[in-house]
A and B are shown apart, each in its own frame.
Chain A
Amino acid sequence: MEHFFLNIAHSLIVWLMGLGLSSKGADLVLLIVQWICIVAIVTINVIVLIWLERKVAGFMQQRLGPNRLGPAGMFQTIADAIKLLTKEDIIPSAADRIIFRTAPIFFIIIAVMLYVVLPMGDGMQIVDLNVGVFYFISVASLSTICLLMAGWGSNNKWSLLGAMRSVAQMISYEIPLAFSLLGVIMIAGSLSLSDIVAAQNNIWFIILQPVAFITFFIAATAELNRGPFDMPEAEQELTAGAYTEYTGMRWALFFLAEYTNLVAVSALASTMFLGGWHGPWLPSWIWIIIKTYLVMLIFMWMKWTFPRIRMDHLMSFSWKVLIPVTLANILVTGAGIQFLAGMGW
Chain B
Amino acid sequence: MGDYNLDKMLAELQNLMGDKLELSEDAFFNWIHISPDQLLVLMDKLKNEYGFNYLANLTAVDYGEYFEIVYHLYSIPANNKTGVKTRVSRNQAQVDSVCLIWPTADWQEREVYDLMGIDFKGHPNLVRVLLPDDFTGHPLRKDFEMER
Q: Are A and B close enough to touch in the complex, i.e. CB under 8 Å?
A: no
Give the interface of A toward B (CB within 8 A).
none
